[in-house]
C-alpha cells in the first residue's frame, strides 16, 4: 500500500520496536483463498524501509525457505537479518488445503494439496544463506529441540526458533512451557559440550558432516563438491 512506509514507521515508534520483520510469504498468499499476490516492487519497498527506518529491517519466510538468490537480493537492499523458516515445519499450503476443504472449495483445496511440500528444506536453506551473505540468520521450520538448534547453528545460523513444542506445552500450563524452554536450553548446552564448543561462535565453526538429501541438494546447487 502507498502508506506502508509511514505505517511501518508509526508501528515502530508506537511500541519502541528493536526492528521490523517483513514476511516474504509468496506461497501462503498464492494458495490462500483471500491471498494477495501483488509482489511487484516488493524489493524496492523493502529497500525503502531499510534506509528509512531507524531500526534494522529483517525478512522472514513462512515455511518455504529462503534461497541464496533471494538472500543476496535482500541483503543488497539493506536487510540485516533473515528468518529462513524452511520446509519441515508448519505447511501453510496444508493449512489452506484444510480451510478450503471446510469451505467445500475443491479447486482451492487441490491447489493447497499440490503445493503441500513446496519449498527449500530448512537445513539446505541455512547453508544457502550462510554461504552467500553476512546477514544474521534465524533458523526455523521443523526445529523441535535444543539439538536441532545446535545443528542449525553448526550449519551457519546465528539463532534458532521453534514454536510447536512451546505451543503444546503452554496450552497445558505456564510451568510446562517453562520446563519445555529449560529442556531446549539444556539440550543445546549438551550438544555444545559434546562438540567441545564453548560458545555459539565456536559452534558455528564446528566441522559438520552433511549426508542424504541435504547433501544432494547442496551439490546440485554448487554449494558442496
Give the Cα separation of 118 and 112 in Å (integer): 10
**Are the beta carbons of 109 and 97 closer than 8 angstroms?**
yes
| For helices 146-155 and 122-130, angle between their N-to-C axes, nearest 10 degrees | 30
For the beta sheet containing 57-60, the strands, ordered from the edge strand earlier in sequence to the opposite edge, are 20-23, 57-60, 81-83, 136-139, 159-160
Write out the CATH class of domain 4-220: alpha beta
Per-residue pLDDT of the chain (225 residues; tens, 9 = 90+): 557 889 999 999 999 999 999 999 999 999 998 999 989 999 999 999 999 999 999 999 999 999 999 999 999 999 999 999 999 999 999 999 999 999 999 999 999 999 999 999 999 999 999 999 999 999 999 999 999 999 999 999 999 999 999 999 999 999 999 999 999 999 999 999 999 999 999 999 999 999 999 999 999 999 998
pTM of the model: 0.94
Amino acid at each position: 500500500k502507498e502508506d506502508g512506509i509511514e505505517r511501518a514507521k508509526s508501528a515502530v515508534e508506537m511500541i519502541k520496536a528493536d526492528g521490523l520483520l517483513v514476511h516474504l510469504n509468496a506461497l501462503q498468499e498464492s494458495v490462500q483463498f483471500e491471498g494477495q499476490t501483488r509482489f511487484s516492487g516488493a524489493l524496492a519497498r523493502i529497500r525503502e524501509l531499510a534506509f528509512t527506518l531507524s531500526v534494522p529491517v529483517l525478512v522472514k519466510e513462512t515455511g518455504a525457505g529462503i534461497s541464496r538468490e533471494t538472500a543476496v537480493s535482500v541483503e543488497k537492499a539493506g536487510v540485516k537479518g533473515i528468518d529462513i523458516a524452511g520446509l519441515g515445519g508448519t505447511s501453510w499450503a496444508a493449512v489452506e488445503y484444510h480451510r478450503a476443504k471446510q469451505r467445500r472449495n475443491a479447486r482451492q483445496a487441490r491447489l493447497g494439496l499440490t503445493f503441500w511440500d513446496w519449498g527449500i528444506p530448512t537445513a539446505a536453506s541455512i547453508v544457502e544463506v550462510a554461504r552467500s551473505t553476512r546477514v544474521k540468520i534465524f533458523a526455523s521450520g521443523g526445529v523441535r529441540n535444543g539439538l536441532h538448534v545446535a545443528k542449525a547453528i553448526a550449519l551457519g545460523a546465528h539463532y534458532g526458533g521453534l514454536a510447536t513444542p512451546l505451543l503444546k506445552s503452554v496450552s497445558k500450563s505456564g510451568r510446562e512451557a517453562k520446563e519445555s524452554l529449560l529442556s531446549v536450553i539444556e539440550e543445546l548446552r549438551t550438544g555444545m559440550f559434546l562438540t567441545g564448543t564453548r560458545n555459539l561462535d565456536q559452534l558455528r565453526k564446528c566441522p559438520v558432516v552433511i549426508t542424504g538429501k541435504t547433501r544432494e541438494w547442496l551439490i546440485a546447487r554448487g554449494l558442496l563438491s
